[in-house]
Structure 1
Amino acid sequence: MSRTTPRVLGIVVTLAVFVTSSTVASAHAEPTATESPALSAKPWRPVDIALHAARPYGNPYTDVDVSATFTGPRGQIMTMPGFWDGGATWRVRFAPPTAGRWRYTTAGTDSGLAGKHGTIDVSASGGDLDIYRHGFLKTSENNRYFTYADGTPFFWLGDSEASSLIGQTRLNESNDPRFSSQFTGIVDTRAKQGFTVVAESELFANNPGNMNEGGPTWNNGDAGFLRDLNPGFWQNADKRIGYISSKGMATFLAMGVGVSLSGVDQTAWAAGLRADYERLARYMVARYAAYPVVWMTAQEFDTPGNCAQCWADIARYVHAVDPYHRATSLHNYPIYAGGGIQYRDQPWYDFVTLQEGHNRVDKVADYWLKQYQATPARPVLEGEANFEGMDVFWDNHAIVQNWQSRESAWKARVGGAAGNDYGAAGVWWTCWTAQDPNGNCQSFGSTPWNEGLFLPGAAQMGYLKAFFTALPWWQLVPAPDATSWAPNVPTDTQAPFASATSDRDVVVVYYPHRLDGGGTYTGTVGGVHRGHYTMRWYDPRTGSYGRGTEVVVTSNAGQITLPAQPDAASDWTLLIRKG
């Protein structure tokens, strides 16, 4: 989806101080000796080391470098870049991954920042939230799904909230009495609905004119772009990302939109623009690598005309600078419209972020299965598909229907996707009211945020999550050869599809609804082993199961006759389980 430089309402609001479970511990006083006071922290939670420059600088953002090297109780060594936080203050923000005593030493181009030593005593428990109990996100060893740092499978269910970190989403006010803050109201609701990621969360830091309650990203308008950084903007974004983390959710974080590098050639890139972008990327890593983020880098990086290779250079740089080496990707432009560049053979490219597009109905085998089968293997995320209620103005103003949002999610999952991001009108880009003058609100539909927040698809994404997390979902793989269907069953976009465990003790069959008005589907599933099986219908619209039917298979490599779904006018999921 094409997005313009974000415009924000001309209202500056005094910042409120959020005190949440993610509030970081900081050393606020200037050290009086080389050895700093001991700090305390919990595993995977950010702790700040405050440092103070010995002299003033004309441009602290560009003129000073600082970092700290941390040594863990098991001999781990991690180097974290630091960041300027206004005035004479720099910070190194670190999330210790293990309990015990960590020691650090700082290095920098200013004598007040370099040569500081200290310790961080890390408690044994990170708390009750999985994101802190198990650690930051990475990809599985077989490159098929996401896990926490300790290898525990992570179920990615994202909600697209592109404007969540900027002033378009208001941090300190709400026009809905149910919520004191528009931002926290959205995050709280999505957490209750079962989402695990705030997705497509963009800083728009490579767009001049961007701002939030902390002020503009860059001071002095276009003259200060990529040079005259305003720490207030970033401090405001800290509060937002910290709040998302306090709800146990990860942030799928981007620098901005790919089209910002439209028309840039390699000569201009090498002449200085690359250095500006790398400095910004380093700053982002320094501020946010200590939070549970996943790097999206840029949205629609490969839009025709963009410098896709420039964005690939930045993604590679982010992956190298981030000491946690958490999952890194680039968000594709739709393949059907000329996007789809992938860097599967590169070690920094951890997973594919697809965009099916909007008002589209695709066939599993031609879209998601092909991505799953591509080599080398990489987890596939369906990052943008049929945002519910969106006005697709380039397609005769079609409004994306609930069934399109739901079927894209289920098709992606049975087709091998490791995760999916949902989106709702009024929330993927927050719209204060139906009359919100922002261009994205008026171009893509003017649904108010507090209506879009409760469109039925959000609850249905929670039902999808409940269905899969009751199974060993990470063991399910697409099974195009598992099923055979009667001649009257569709073979187009509405073809049913199955995923299964390797032993076929668990089989999931998704039946899309018929678009042609035809009857119910019948068929068989083969390759099952001797034993007792139960078949149950699951309604993806309500999250409810029907009564189970027992089936006995008397031979290995046997078959089970698949029942016709309860009705052909609705989509259904059939769960078959041994025992």
Structure 2
Amino acid sequence: MDPRGRQVSVERWGVYELALDGPAAGNPYRDVPLRAEFQHRNRVVPVDGFYDGAGCYRIRFMPDAEGEWRYVTRSTASQLDGRRGTFTCTPPAPGNHGPVRVAGPRTFAYADGTRYLPLGTTCYHWNHLDDLDREEETLRVLADAPFTKVRMCLLPTGGMDPPRLAFAGDSPETLDTTRFNPAFWRHFERRLRDLLALGIEADVILFHPYDEGRWCLDRMSPEEDRFLLRYAMARLAAYRHVWWSLSNEYDFNTHKTVADWDDLGRFVQRHDPYQRLRSIHNGTRMYTYERIYDFGRRWITHQSIQHWDARLTARWRDACPKPVVIDEIGYEGTAERRWGNLTGRTLLRQLWHAAVEGGYVTHGEAYPDAGRDGTTWISRGGRLHGESVPRIAFLRRVLEEAPADLVAARREGTYRLEFTGAAQPAYRDVELPDGGDYRIELIDTWNMTAAELPDGPHRGRVRVELKGRTDMALRIRRVA
């Protein structure tokens, strides 16, 4: 900080924040526009500011290049217009790899080129109900878990009675969609920063269809939707680990059409200065049908799919050259609904099916009888009770040791994973590419062991004895 309390430096891909005093009368959220132009050399990046209550306006910016940045503010309010300043962008701190980007048709990477594996989990409303002890417990669990992404909602469901909402008002009768509640957003941002400190991406679900007619936030006008999106991007987009999930189970919302979702997706694409990852998530009737979005739309960066069978990963992968993330495949647990009573082994099996085809599956857990208040991990976080998490950690280690693009490596004949799933064959005959020597390892995905086949390296056809065991994988690597 300089003697006037202004921030003078920020690391690359960190957050530079400018706070300004301005008008508080009327409705500043709606009536006082604020923008800033940040310039590095000949490049100018326009950024929206936002009103944070009590006469305070803020502008947040993520610099992506080292060196001096200059800025100037623009507003119809004279107190906020024409404010100028500079700051220095310094090298990133250890562990700061920048935002995640799509690196190829099947892969992700951080901005500095470091590989990223989207092994996520779902905690829809873990930070909405002002249970600080539970929130801290959730963060402790995440710190020890293998997850690299958390799916979390911005808006409440119809059955919730949260102490704070994104909009002003604390009841359906007092809800005011022309104003926001800064206290809600500050708490949401606090938890986003906690996730950032853990190295976990935040997949923010902007809309969902579970309002049940209570808050009516699923049936706002296009203008109200855009008002919310513009404010959310102004406040949250500067955090490098934020992703945008435009909607969860978009097709269950009967108040919007696919054309409406496309309009909103393009709106986010236009107004996000950092082009964070963007997708949208379909609903499904478990084991009956699904309405997967057309992910070929230009505003979508990756596929966010709900489906019960990860063996279809290759189909989705080949149909659209964007990474496949099955963000909902069913949850480990004992819930009454079919989507929430998978065994740990069944869920883990789905992760492996996707992985060998170059895709990813998001974890979820629904043990309503195990929580202290009957709520589950997918709804409010807390503790994990299932068996899949340590096995997902083992899978993560396997993938971290593998090439980033397993499909390309298999085509090149340098590396491949095979997985038996629920089958229990006595053996498997492996055909190795001509002209190479290969090491073969037999992996027990449930017991988390890996043993190399003797008498290697191998060539030609190799018979691998499986002895009728399920959930076995083969890791086949060409010897240099």
Equivalent residue, structure 2, for 1:373: 318
Residue in structure 1 matching 2:126, options 164, 175, 185: 164
Please, what TM-score do these two structures have when normalized by structure 1?
0.74
Equivalent residue, structure 1, for 2:305: 354
Residue in structure 1 matching 2:265, options 315, 318, 330: 315
Cα deviations across residues 30-64 of structure 1 (Å, max 9, x unaligned)? xxxxxxx45221111112100121x3332121222
Give the distance between the partners of 2:81 and 2:161, measured in 1 at CA: 33
Equivalent residue of 1:350, what SS?
coil
Aligned-residue offset at 1:462: 0.8
Give the distance between the partners of 2:129 and 2:369, measured in 1 at CA: 11
Please, what TM-score do these two structures have when normalized by structure 2?
0.89
Equivalent residue of 2:362, what SS?
strand
Equivalent residue, structure 2, for 1:19: none
Equivalent residue, structure 2, for 1:186: 138
Over 3 Å counting, the alpha-carbon distance change for 1:60 and 1:445 in structure 2 is closer
- Trace 1:224-243 onto structure 2 (pairs within 5 A): 224-243=175-194
- Trace 1:519-538 onto structure 2 (pairs within 5 A): 519-526=425-432, 528-538=433-443
Unmatched segments (≥5 aa) in structure 2: none
Letter of the 2:361 partner, please give it. Answer: N
Q: Does 1:564 align with 2:465?
A: yes
- Trace 1:37-52 onto structure 2 (pairs within 5 A): 37=6, 39-52=8-21
Over 3 Å counting, the alpha-carbon distance change for 1:468 and 1:113 in structure 2 is same
Aligned-residue offset at 1:207: 6.7
CA RMSD for the aligned pairs?
3.1
Letter of the 2:12 partner, please give it. Answer: P
Letter of the 2:405 partner, please give it. Answer: Q
Cα deviations across residues 401-460 of structure 1 (Å, max 9, x unaligned)? 01111011111111231x32111125xxx9994444xxxx3xx89999555x14221111
Letter of the 1:379 partner, please give it. Answer: P
Over 3 Å counting, the alpha-carbon distance change for 1:77 and 1:368 in structure 2 is same
Over 3 Å counting, the alpha-carbon distance change for 1:116 and 1:575 in structure 2 is same
Paired residue total:
471
Equivalent residue, structure 2, for 1:109: 76
Give the distance between the partners of 1:196 and 1:572, measured in 2 at CA: 25
Residue in structure 2 matching 1:284, options 221, 232, 236: 232
Give the distance between the partners of 1:457 and 1:350, measured in 2 at CA: 29
Residue in structure 1 matching 2:400, options 459, 469, 472: 469
Give the distance between the partners of 1:448 and 1:347, measured in 2 at CA: 33
- Trace 1:389-538 onto structure 2 (pairs within 5 A): 389-393=333-337, 395=338, 399-417=341-359, 419-425=360-366, 433-436=371-374, 441=375, 450-451=382-383, 453-472=384-403, 474-477=404-407, 500-514=409-423, 519-526=425-432, 528-538=433-443
Equivalent residue, structure 1, for 2:50: 83
Aligned-residue offset at 1:304: 6.6
Cα deviations across residues 101-146 of structure 1 (Å, max 9, x unaligned)? 111111122111221111121212x2121xx2x2101112x32211
Give the distance between the partners of 1:431 and 1:115, measured in 2 at CA: 58
Over 3 Å counting, the alpha-carbon distance change for 1:330 and 1:448 in structure 2 is closer
Letter of the 1:476 partner, please give it. Answer: L
Residue in structure 1 matching 2:30, options 56, 62, 70: 62
Greater shift after overlay, 82-91 or 296-305?
Answer: 296-305
Over 3 Å counting, the alpha-carbon distance change for 1:459 and 1:28 in structure 2 is farther
Over 3 Å counting, the alpha-carbon distance change for 1:26 and 1:60 in structure 2 is farther
Over 3 Å counting, the alpha-carbon distance change for 1:369 and 1:38 in structure 2 is closer
What percentage of residue pairs aligned between the two structures are identical? 23
Give the distance between the partners of 1:165 and 1:95, measured in 2 at CA: 24
Give the distance between the partners of 1:477 and 1:251, measured in 2 at CA: 27
Over 3 Å counting, the alpha-carbon distance change for 1:562 and 1:46 in structure 2 is farther
Aligned-residue offset at 1:151: 3.5
The answer (yes or no) to whether the contact 1:62–1:227 under 8 Å persists in 2 is: yes
Give the distance between the partners of 1:232 and 1:221, measured in 2 at CA: 16
Equivalent residue, structure 1, for 2:107: 145
Letter of the 1:82 partner, please give it. Answer: G
Over 3 Å counting, the alpha-carbon distance change for 1:100 and 1:337 in structure 2 is farther
Equivalent residue, structure 2, for 1:195: 147
Letter of the 2:401 partner, please give it. Answer: A
Over 3 Å counting, the alpha-carbon distance change for 1:524 and 1:455 in structure 2 is same
Letter of the 1:224 partner, please give it. Answer: L
